[in-house]
């Protein structure tokens, strides 16, 4: 099992718009194709204007396959086009659980 942490940093004042568009237009579509959502969060202290989400995948190859399928869908591309103008930065981290991690 691997975990991907994605962090989207929105321009100031755009985080709530980002969350609303994702919740109403992208969430169900992404769950159907990608699945494995561990959690979706917003920042309150530290770096602000961020949406942070963690996804679980069976392997890196599984992640590549699922994300390729998502990006092959015209409705996802149209949806992503609505979010891009709200984003200042995007970061992705692949995390491997330690042998003692509760999440495996």
* Tens-digit pLDDT profile for residues 41-96: 999 999 999 999 999 999 999 999 999 999 999 999 999 999 999 999 999 999 99
pLDDT at position 24 = 97
pTM: 0.91
d(CA 30, CA 4): 14
User: Hunting for tokens 């699945």 — which residue is that?
Assistant: 35
Residue-wise pLDDT for 9-25, tens only, equals: 999 999 999 999 999 99
CATH architecture of structural domain 2-95: 2-Layer Sandwich (3.30)
pLDDT at position 104 = 87
- In sequence order, the 6+-apart residues with CB closer than 8 A to the CB of 7 are 50, 51, 52, 89, 90, 91, 92, 93
- In sequence order, the 6+-apart residues with CB closer than 8 A to the CB of 54 are 3, 4, 5, 6, 37, 38, 39
């Amino acid at each position: 099992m691997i975990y991907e942490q994605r962090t989207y940093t929105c321009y100031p004042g755009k985080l709530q718009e980002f969350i609303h568009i994702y919740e109403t237009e992208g969430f169900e579509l992404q769950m159907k194709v990608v699945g494995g959502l561990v959690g979706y969060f917003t920042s309150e202290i530290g770096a602000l204007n961020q949406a942070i989400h963690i996804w679980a995948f069976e392997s890196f190859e599984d992640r590549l396959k699922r994300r390729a399928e998502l990006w092959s869908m015209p409705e996802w591309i149209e949806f992503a086009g609505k979010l891009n103008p709200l984003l200042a930065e995007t970061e992705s981290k692949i995390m491997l659980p330690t042998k003692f991690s509760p999440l495996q």
